[in-house]
Amino acid sequence: MTTTIARSDAQHDTDLSSLRFVTEDGDEVSPGDWHGSPVILVFLRWLG
């Protein structure tokens, strides 16, 4: 059994602008700034 969030619910759940990730170059990026094309974030269990 997998938990998925329907589109209408997901949209209200997360404040993207508060999230920060670090690129391989060491820069900080926020998914809240990403516009123009869809983005798929694959959250890994671990680097195999």
Partner 1 sequence: MREREAELEAHGARVFAVTFESASRVREYRERESTPFPILRDPRRAGYQAFGIERRDNAMSLWRPKTFWYYVKSTLRGKLPKVARVDHYQLGGDVLLSSTGEVCWVYRSEEPADRPSINKVIEELDGCQRD
Evaluate whether 14 touches 29 at the Cβ level (below 8 Å): no
Shortest distance in whole angstroms from residue 34 CB to partner 1: 6
Rounded Cα distance, 21 and 30, in Å: 6
Find the shortest distance in angstroms from Cβ 33 to partner 1.
Answer: 8
Query: Which residues, 4 to 43, sit near partner 1 by CB under 8 A?
Result: 4-5, 7, 10-11, 13-16, 18-24, 26, 29, 31-43
Nearest to 30 by CA among 12, 17, 13: 17
**Residues making contact with partner 1 (CB under 8 A):** 1-5, 7, 10-11, 13-16, 18-24, 26, 29, 31-48
